[in-house]
Amino acid sequence: MSFIWYCLVALMIAGYVILDGYDIGAGIVHLFVAKGEDERKMVLQSIGPVWDGNEVWLLAGGGTLYFAFPGLYASSFSGFYLPLMVVLWLLMIRGISIEFRNHLDNAAWKPFWDTGFAVSSILLAVFFGAALGNVVRGVPLDQAGDFFLPFWTDFQPGAEPGILDWYTILVGVFALATLTLHGALWVRYRASGDLNIRAARLAKRSWIAVLLLTALTTLASFNIQPQILQNFAKYPVGYIFPALALAGLAGVYLFKDEMKPFLSSCVFIAGMLTSAAFGIFPYVLPSNSDPAKGLTIWNTAPAEYGLRVGLIWWLPGMALAIAYSTYMHRKFSGKVGTGGYGSH
């Protein structure tokens, strides 16, 4: 049951990054590709009906993590207290910027909300990437499974690292490039005219950055976390996950329409995140000093009976969430207009 829940949590995190990732990506790119009020409205309209629903997946993923691995939840939420507070503020600033821009029709304030939307989206991508880097690298856990990290120390991933070091910054930049590509492809898919053309141009440039950063981040991860190579050597079936990522990245480049490159970006993100989950298995939070102190799916999970009962309730709940998300995306599909929420 612990293994099943590990897989479910990994899939939920991948689902959140794919769904809210294009929302965050739209925020990253909108000041670069949208020229003028009408085009900025189009970018916001492309995510308007669904962005807040996509963020529900973050809550669902956090709730699932809390239920399935409460030991990890307790350790990570205390150890990562500082960056979690930053992420909370960024999520609030991003949501406020979207809502106020659409409901407060004031020319003097709109540039302020646009900047808030862009900056918060950029920083969220970097912080989410740095968080993943911390999980892959490991943290200085003590015997009780507790830790605390400052924002930075000497920027080296040694025995006493900070949240930010050269490796986690690299993963953060990689996440920023990935969500820039993801967001540009989404805006291209939903928009038309000159905005569509500029989004396509930015997507091509972002693809090159993602390709280079994928190779660099992969090599760095092999060096930082030896568990990854051990798992791939022990379980060759795991190569399906990086193969999925490479196929998705190739699809972004090869497909020439508007929907398939975006779907390929979804596949790339899913492949990279599942590769990371496979690479650190059975750890949910490795120790960067003593592997025996690492938090695993075995020492952080509750009793198996609770996991079985939870699965019975989780399946219909997630089926409803998936059905709702599918309905909303189908209902608001197609090219967008320049009005407020709901206009096409």
Inter-CA distances, 298 with 93, 283, 284, 291, 302, Å: 37, 9, 10, 14, 9
Q: Is the pLDDT of residue 343 over 50?
A: no
| Cα–Cα distance measured from residue 255 to residue 272, given in angstroms and rounded to the nearest whole number | 20
Q: Is the pLDDT of residue 342 over 50?
A: no
* Residues 251-274, mean pLDDT to the nearest whole number: 96
Q: Is the pLDDT of residue 106 over 80?
A: no
* Residues 85-114, mean pLDDT to the nearest whole number: 88
With bands split at pLDDT 50, 70 and 90, how would you rate the model's confidence at 139?
A: very high
Q: Which of 57-61, 124-128, 292-296, 297-301 has the lowest mean pLDDT?
A: 57-61
Q: Which of 52-61, 104-113, 145-154, 332-341 has the lowest mean pLDDT?
A: 332-341
Centre a 10 Å sphere on the Cβ of residue 246 and count the other Cβ atoms it contains.
16
Domain boundaries, the chain: 2-331
Q: Is the pLDDT of residue 114 over 70?
A: yes
Query: What is the rounded radius of gyration, in angstroms, for the C-alpha atoms of the chain?
Result: 20
pTM for the structure as a whole: 0.94
Greatest alpha-carbon span in the chain: 60
Q: Which of 57-61, 232-236, 255-259, 284-288 has the lowest mean pLDDT?
A: 57-61
| Cα–Cα distance measured from residue 240 to residue 181, given in angstroms and rounded to the nearest whole number | 23
pLDDT at 338: 58
pLDDT at 149: 87
With bands split at pLDDT 50, 70 and 90, how would you rate the model's confidence at 59?
A: confident
**Averaged confidence pLDDT in the chain:** 92
Q: Is the pLDDT of residue 104 over 80?
A: no
| Cα–Cα distance measured from residue 271 to residue 218, given in angstroms and rounded to the nearest whole number | 13
Q: What is the DSSP letter of 109?
A: T
Q: What is the DSSP letter of 257?
A: S
Q: What is the DSSP letter of 143?
A: T
With bands split at pLDDT 50, 70 and 90, how would you rate the model's confidence at 227?
A: very high
Residue 296: φ, ψ to 5°:
-115, 175
pLDDT at 243: 98
* Residues 52-63, mean pLDDT to the nearest whole number: 85
Q: Are 167 and 220 in contact (CB under 8 A)?
A: yes
Q: Are 302 and 70 in contact (CB under 8 A)?
A: yes
| Cα–Cα distance measured from residue 125 to residue 122, given in angstroms and rounded to the nearest whole number | 5
Q: Is the pLDDT of residue 75 over 60?
A: yes
Three-state DSSP class for 139? strand
Q: What percent of the chain has pLDDT over 70?
A: 98
Three-state DSSP class for 295? strand
| Cα–Cα distance measured from residue 183 to residue 117, given in angstroms and rounded to the nearest whole number | 13
* Residues 246-260, mean pLDDT to the nearest whole number: 96
| Cα–Cα distance measured from residue 317 to residue 305, given in angstroms and rounded to the nearest whole number | 19
* Residues 236-261, mean pLDDT to the nearest whole number: 96
* Residues 79-93, mean pLDDT to the nearest whole number: 92
Q: Which of 21, 33, 43, 49 is nearest to 262 (CA)?
A: 21
pLDDT at 158: 82
**To which residue do tokens 């990689």 refer?**
174
Q: Is the pLDDT of residue 344 over 50?
A: no
Length of the chain: 344
With bands split at pLDDT 50, 70 and 90, how would you rate the model's confidence at 154?
A: confident
With bands split at pLDDT 50, 70 and 90, how would you rate the model's confidence at 339?
A: low
pLDDT in tens, 274-306: 999 999 999 999 999 889 999 999 999 998 999
Q: Is the pLDDT of residue 145 over 90?
A: no
